């Protein structure tokens, strides 16, 4: 799994260069062999590429503007005062601006993550509002093109989720202890790209799932074939997520 970052949303444009970072945001160079010298011996590990997940951080100002637009123009028309899944219009002034930004993000993701000279075209966007006990089942999304992208942007996160740890340390066998806590991943997104189990991981097979803690302003983008879901949480507050899908135009 590869993660890329840029300094700001203003730099997200066609041909932009993103830096590869690890899960803590530290720069890495996957193509440079990790070599240690000891008593004249050289040891190198070459990671095997699989797929990429893009991580983008939106400024608080933009997140506030999106939330204000949703509160004033979208939520007032819904019937239920609580949870909902509502379309986010892309044909009004705010939607058109957001579409431009998201298309730049998707196209840069394709170029930097896959060296693919294609264009990402946003065609679907909606809002998930969730409260205590609610969840989104595991699924993957569709697209009109052969390849497609999916993603989500966290807009509101309840305190009962935000105060949790980021996730397990997969470099240690003790990471299994992370899942023994009943509420360890409550409210997290569950990303799945295979069928390996925890036993498989201990047998040195690659992990094929992860839990991503929602953070306000943090956006994830990934291939549309990857299954994802939102775990239920139990506490006060609203978890608000903006979800989107792109076609990939070659």
- CATH number, residue 207: 2.60.120.620
DSSP letter, residue 73: I
Residue pair 216/155 in contact (Cβ under 8 Å)? The answer is: yes
Residue 4 lies in a domain: no
Residue 54 and residue 120 in contact, taking contact as beta carbons nearer than 8 Å = no
**Strand ranges (E), the chain:** 3-5, 19-21, 34-38, 41-45, 54-57, 84-87, 119-130, 136-139, 148-156, 189-192, 209-212, 218-223, 227-230, 239-249
Residue 132 placed within a domain? yes
**Does residue 160 lie within any of the structural domains?**
yes
Q: What is the mean pLDDT of the chain?
A: 82
Q: Does residue 162 contact residue 239 with C-beta atoms inside 8 Å?
A: no
In a domain, 203, yes or no: yes
pTM for the whole structure: 0.77
Write down the pLDDT at residue 97: 92
201 lies in some domain: yes
Give Dmax over CA atoms of the chain in angstroms.
71
Cα 243 to chain centroid, rounded: 10
What's the pLDDT tens digit per position in 122-147? 999 999 999 999 888 899 998 999 99
Return the pLDDT at 178. Answer: 52
pLDDT of 20 reads 66
Does residue 38 belong to any structural domain of this protein? no
Q: What is the reported pLDDT for 40? A: 64
Q: For 10-14, 215-219, 239-243, 245-249, which range has the lowest pLDDT when averaged over its residues?
A: 10-14
**Domain coverage including residue 89:** 58-249
Phi, psi torsion values for 36, nearest 5 degrees: -120, 135
Domain count, the chain: 1
* Angstrom distance (rounded) from CA 107 to CA 248: 8
What is the C-alpha separation between 143 and 138, in angstroms, rounded? Answer: 17
pLDDT score at 202: 87
User: In this predicted model, what pLDDT tens digit does every residue of 22-65 receive, in sequence order?
Assistant: 667 776 655 454 454 556 666 677 777 788 999 999 999 999 99
Contact 100, 120 (CB under 8 A): no
For residues 110 and 118, what is the distance between their CA atoms, to the nearest angstrom?
7
Q: For residue 173, what pLDDT is reported?
A: 47
SS3 179: helix
SS3 155: strand
Query: What is the per-residue pLDDT across 179-219, written as a single tens digit (0 to 9) for each?
Result: 555 678 899 999 999 998 878 988 988 889 888 999 999 99
pLDDT tens sequence across 99-110: 999 999 999 999
Tokens of 116: 């693919």
Q: What is the mean pLDDT of residues 86-114?
A: 92
Determine, yes or no, domain membership for 35: no
How many residues make up the chain in this entry? 250
Q: What is the pLDDT of residue 79?
A: 47
Asked whether residue 19 is assigned to any structural domain, the reply reads: no
């Amino acid at each position: 799994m590869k993660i890329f970052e840029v300094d700001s949303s203003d730099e997200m444009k066609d041909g932009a260069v993103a830096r590869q970072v690890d899960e803590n945001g530290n720069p890495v160079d996957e193509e440079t062999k990790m070599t240690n010298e000891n008593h004249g011996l050289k040891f190198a590990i070459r990671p095997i590429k699989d797929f990429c997940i893009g991580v983008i951080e939106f400024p608080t100002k933009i997140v506030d503007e999106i939330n204000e637009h949703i509160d004033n123009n979208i939520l007032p028309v819904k019937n239920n005062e609580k949870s909902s899944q509502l379309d986010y219009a892309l044909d009004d002034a705010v939607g058109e601006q957001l579409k431009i930004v998201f298309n730049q993000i998707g196209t840069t993701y394709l170029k930097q993550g896959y060296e693919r000279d294609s264009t990402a075209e946003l065609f679907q966007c909606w809002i998930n509002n969730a409260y205590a006990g609610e969840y989104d089942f595991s699924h993957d999304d569709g697209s009109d093109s052969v390849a497609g992208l999916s993603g989500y942007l966290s807009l509101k996160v309840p305190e009962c989720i935000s105060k949790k740890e980021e996730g397990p340390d997969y470099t240690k066998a003790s990471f299994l202890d992370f899942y023994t806590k009943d509420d360890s991943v409550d409210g997290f997104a569950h990303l799945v790209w295979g069928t390996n189990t925890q036993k498989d991981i201990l047998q040195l097979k690659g992990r094929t799932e992860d839990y991503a803690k929602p953070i306000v302003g943090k956006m994830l983008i990934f291939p549309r074939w990857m299954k994802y879901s939102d775990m239920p949480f139990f506490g006060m507050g609203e978890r608000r997520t903006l979800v989107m899908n792109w076609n990939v135009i070659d």
